[in-house]
Every structure is written in structure tokens, then in C-alpha cells.
Amino acid sequence: MAKGMREIKRSIKSTQNTKQITKAMEMVASAKLKRAQDAAVASRPYTDKIRDVVASIASGGGTIKHPMLQSREIKRTAYLVVTSDRGLAGGYNSNVLRKVWTEIQEKHTSPAEYEVFVIGRKGRDYFKRRGVTLTEEVVGLSDSPTFADIKALAAAAVKGFEEGKYDQLNLVYNQFVNAISQIPVIKQLLPLDASNLAGDSSAAKASYEYEPSPEKVLDVLLPKYAETVIYSAVLEGKASEFGARMTAMGNATKNATKMIAGLTLTYNRARQAAITQEIAEIVGGANAQQQ
């Protein structure tokens, strides 16, 4: 019995240590989530303005033509997948990776029909385990990534479409809803849809004058816009990562609390049983002596 009680006490101590770690990780993730959300919000004005200008040019009465706006027969598809470098974030990585892998298996019969760009160590390791050769990868991003951190990969992904290496570029990431909800999405990035660019933006109908010409401006802005959308997805992915980690660590802390309560109850019962047994033995010994 004494041995069993010692094991229960060790389990209680171990679970208490785990609870302290998960609680600390939850608080850290909560603080980082706030910063990630602020960064995502701060990037929106630039993204919105460049989208408005691109939409204004692209909707110029059908006279503006650009390869990034033209749909073509899809013979080869590229996927740019945004994941994290670290785990302990619930289903953050597994959900988005499962979604893109299912998409690849359903739509492609051979590796020649697709290629993959990856941001994040978890995504890189996932595809390498499945024998997928990655076109470009970025790992080791900070908790507050800058555009410079992913610019080379984003530019390579956009350039590949422009050069005709593939006919469609899809962006795969976790769309941030709130701290407890992140939705894995596959979003077509290229070719761009001029009608979707305009959307409900009233600025798309504004009158602009361009130098040297709308076509030349579009040549510069369209790649920049696509790269900006990729960066926005990275920022949104970071917010989703911290939200998922905060939720996962919060649940782990609650589970640890329940385990500690259950183990403490078991320990107290075992202790009471041991005391009762000792009393019974003392009483039994006393009665034996009296007889």
C-alpha cells in the first residue's frame, strides 16, 4: 500500500509540473496571439489599396490583358502551403496538411501534375515523408515574420505561373476566425479573377491616371499584389497558430487539473484505507493480548 501511495504522489507531482508548463505556454500564446492579430490588421490597408488599384485597371472595359488574369487549361498545379515550425497547437497543422494532401490525391494521378511550396517545418517534414520533392521551402520564421522573410519564396511561386511552369497556383493556409476556430482553406491565387478583385470595393470605380500606361503599371502591381496576398496568409496563419496553441494548452491545463483532482482523491482514499488498516491491526493486537 505504501508503495502504491508513493507512486500516486509521484503522479500528482508530475501532473502538477505539466500543468505549470501548459499554463505558461497558454499565457505566452495568448500574448503572441494579440501581437499576431495586430500585425495582420496593420497589413490590411496596403493590401486593400493595391487591390483597389489593380481592380481599377483590370476592369478597364475588357481592354486590359495580362497573363496573370488569363485562365488557361490546367495541366499542372502548384500549391503554396502555410504551416508552423512547432507543434503543440492542436489540429492546426494536421488539418491543413490533411486537406491539401486529400486535394492532391483526388485531383492528380502523378507527381508530374503538381508541385509544392512550403512555409513551416511541419509542412516540409510532412511532404518529405511522403516522397514529395519541394520546389521551395521556408522554415524558421520568427513569431513576427516580415515580408522579407518570405519574399523569395512568394516571388518564385508567382514567377513560376508567369513563366508557364504551372497553370494554377493555390494558397493553402488556416483562415483565422477566432482563438478557438481556424478553418483550413484552399484559395486560388493565380490566375487572378478581375471580378473578385473588385468585389464590393467602391474604390475600384475611381478614376486614375497612369504613367507610362495602365498595362505597364499592371505588370508591376499584379506580382506585388499576389506576393502581398501570400504574406497576408502567413500573418493570418501565425494568428491561427497562436490561437490553436492557446486553446490546446488551455485544454491541457484543464485536463491536468482534473487528473490532479482524481489522483488526489485516490491518494486520500488509499491513505484512509491504510490508516483504517493500521487501527484494525492495533485493535486486533490489543484484543489478542487481553485474551
pLDDT over 70 (residue 63): no
Residue 204 pLDDT: 45
Name the pLDDT band for 60 (thresholds 50, 70, 90).
low
pLDDT in tens, 131-186: 999 999 999 999 999 999 999 999 999 999 999 999 999 999 999 988 888 999 99
Query: pLDDT category, 112, cuts 50, 70, 90?
Result: very high
d(CA 84, CA 234): 10
Q: What single letter denotes the amino acid at residue 233?
A: A
Helix-, strand-, coil-residue percentages of the chain, each rounded to 5: 65, 15, 20
**In a 10 Å sphere around its CB, with 0-12 CB exposed, 13-18 middle and 19+ buried, how is residue 167 labelled?**
middle
What is the span of the domain harbouring residue 219?
27-247
pLDDT in tens, 124-133: 999 999 999 9
The percentage of residues in the chain with a pLDDT greater than 90, rounded to a whole number, is 60
Whole-number pLDDT of residue 194: 65
Is 136 among the domain residues?
yes
CA 66 – CA 219 distance, rounded (Å): 8
Total domains present in the chain: 1
Q: Is the pLDDT of residue 218 over 90?
A: no
**Which pLDDT score, from 0 to 100, does residue 274 have?**
79
CATH number at residue 76: 3.40.1380.10
> Per-residue pLDDT tens for 230-256?
999 999 999 999 999 999 999 999 999
What's the confidence (pLDDT) of residue 148?
A: 94
Q: Tell me the backbone φ, ψ of residue 169, rounded to 5 degrees.
A: -120, 120
3-state secondary structure 82-102: ECCCCCCCCCHHHHHHHHHHH
Task: Kindly tell me if the per-residue pLDDT of 107 is higher than 50.
Answer: yes
Residue 118 has pLDDT above 60, yes or no: yes
Q: Which residues contact 3 (CB under 8 A, 6 or more apart)?
A: none
Q: Is 269 a domain residue?
A: no
Which residue has cell 513576427? 144
pLDDT tops 90 at residue 209 = no
16: in domain: no
Q: Note whether residue 158 is domain-resident.
A: yes
Q: What phi, psi does 212 have (nearest 5°)?
A: -80, -25
Q: Is residue 12 part of a domain?
A: no
CA 263, 268, 270: angle at the middle one, nearest 5?
A: 95
User: Which residue from 195, 170, 200, 207 is spatially nearest to 185, judged by alpha carbons?
Assistant: 170
Q: What is the mean pLDDT of residues 9-28?
A: 94
Q: What is the mean pLDDT of the chain?
A: 87
Could you read off the pLDDT of 36-50 as tens digits, one per residue?
Answer: 988 888 888 888 888
What's the predicted TM-score (pTM) here? Answer: 0.84
Asked if pLDDT for residue 286 goes beyond 80, the answer is no
DSSP string, 164-191: TS-SEEEEEEEEEEETTEEEEEEEEEES
**What mean pLDDT do residues 273-285 have?**
79
- CA-to-CA distance for 94 and 108, rounded, in angstroms? 21
In a domain, 210, yes or no: yes
Instruction: Convert 268-285 to b/e letters by CB count within 10 Å (16 or more is b).
Output: eebeeeeeeeeeeeeeee
Give yes or no for a contact between 244 and 181, defined as CB atoms under 8 angstroms apart: no
Domain annotation covers residue 31: yes
